[in-house]
Structure 1
Amino acid sequence: MIKYWPNQQNIHLNNAIVELFFEIEKKLVLNNYNKSNQYLYLDILNTRTRTQLLQYVLSEFKTLVLDLIEINLKHETLNKFSNKIEKIFIYKTYEKFIKNFNCTTLKHNKNTILDCENKSLIEYLLTYLIFGSCKINHKIFIFEPNYTPYHQVKILLEHFIIEIGNNITKVIINSLTNTHNINSFLKRSNICNKLYTSNRSIILFTNNLKWQAFIKSYIYEVKSLYNERQQIWIIGQEGILTKYIYISREKESKNLKNIKVIFILWLEIKDLFIPKIEKLIIQIFKYFLYCSINLFSNTIIILVKVMIFYLKV
């Protein structure tokens, strides 16, 4: 039986939120290894630190939700300022997390944090948690708002926590400016993943992340936009995995760069003409095969007749 998320503010919504946070809290302790085929900045942290960071994110997010409920924020206001809310949230969580480390170079990175892209879907997540599913635009997701599965909100929260934790780690890495500083800081703070204890391994790690970001931005993101879906991070039984969900991305499509528009145009052309070209090639191949078989058969028959003729002679 499908469990649905409450569609309005009431005691059922409050209970669902408590249950949701409790479930995620347990998952963060047990399953925060990256088991996807993609790199995360979080990968450079050891298990203890990664768990601690994600728990900070969850704890601060609980506080954020309670604060927004307390000030009785309107849904329209939430939609308008969701991007700013996210960036302020990242900054506050970042500040709290780095207090564990005595490193002056990690301070005053507010501008860097404010440049983070909004990929956490915080607008929809906060809407579900504060107002219930009735306030979600019916065009956004594949199902009717009043019949939003509980699991949908759960994976949105998992994605949010991992995305924010990853952004915070990214800010830390970028603020250290070079490989030597990164390596020194990680070792001195005892937060380094054993896979990345040398300068060379850190260089490879950061280069892979940059290349992945480039490919993702100009190819996979555009394809996802074209197909109206988005990759999200989820916490499975094995660890952190990726999954695609359907989501309307009409707003994003209006702000595409020229090169991305060209790529989408190419996808349109490909979808229109490639199937027809494939059919044509298959048809030509069938005719060629048919003619080849006939030619071969006729050649054999002629050879047999010639042999019979000479045998009679």
Structure 2
Amino acid sequence: GRRSWRGGLEGAAGLELLPLEPPVMVQREVVADPPRGDCDNTPADWRSSTGASCDEYKAFQWCTPNGTYGVAWDFDYGLFGNFSDAQGVNARQACCGCGGGRPAGHVVGLTHFAVTAGEQCAEALPYAPRETPLTEAAAAGVDTSLRDRAHARWVQRIFPAGVPGSLEDMTIEWRFSDTKTLRQRFESATSQGEPVRWLISWRDSTWERDGVWWFSSSAAAAIGLKWGAGAAGGASFSTEDGAWGAAAGRVDGGGFPPFGFVGVGNFIDEDSACSTVCFPYGPGANVCQQRS
């Protein structure tokens, strides 16, 4: 029989299950960024919660252009996320000199490529090439017509109440180490893993996680076929399991959830497990809520 990850989750330190009545909707979007050339700070007048500008972060060597902490950063004061502005944006997101910003003159377009629900996030998640774009109100599914969409970032939005607007809404920005098409990304995420830096925003706080994402190490044999140019679609995007979320280290839907996992997934279980949402709750810890 199939093992259940819930048992391991309940027994892990720092985790607990809380009742969650409404259905869960998860929305993911591709951020299609061209190769970085000239860059604009975004927002252009960004300042940290203590009033520091992007120019000051660069001049004082608090950060580096590849998004890491600079030699002069003092970790006794916390992380970049501890100094986010009023909108929750930190230097790594806003400042070109810190690995953020946007290519000069470029308007980033967000394209919905997948919507999941409390009973559909992997094995029961439909897929098909769509003639009309997905929206956040659409039924669960993956739009495989976007197979060749190149991207370096995703934005994942989790709506625990089933619709946007709840205080519990959570956003996870996925920053990949390279540019790939969607088909290439999922082929890699089921065969060798994808290095990701995740930026998590929830309840006016931000967290960062660095790890390797495996959608599911058990689904490699068939995932490429789902994105094929001639694929008509079907009812099971994944043949076995699937994870959509962040953690420090390896995230693999084909295994047990790692400690501190944030997001949703079917970890060696059934898609009914997709109704469990795991939120960040301090360094390396989380709280998971499950629909009763």
TM bucket (normalised to shorter chain) is under 0.3
More strand by share: 2
Higher RCO (C-alpha 8 Å, min separation 6): 1
Larger radius of gyration: 1
Name the TM-score, length of structure 2 as normaliser.
Answer: 0.23
Name the TM-score, length of structure 1 as normaliser.
Answer: 0.22
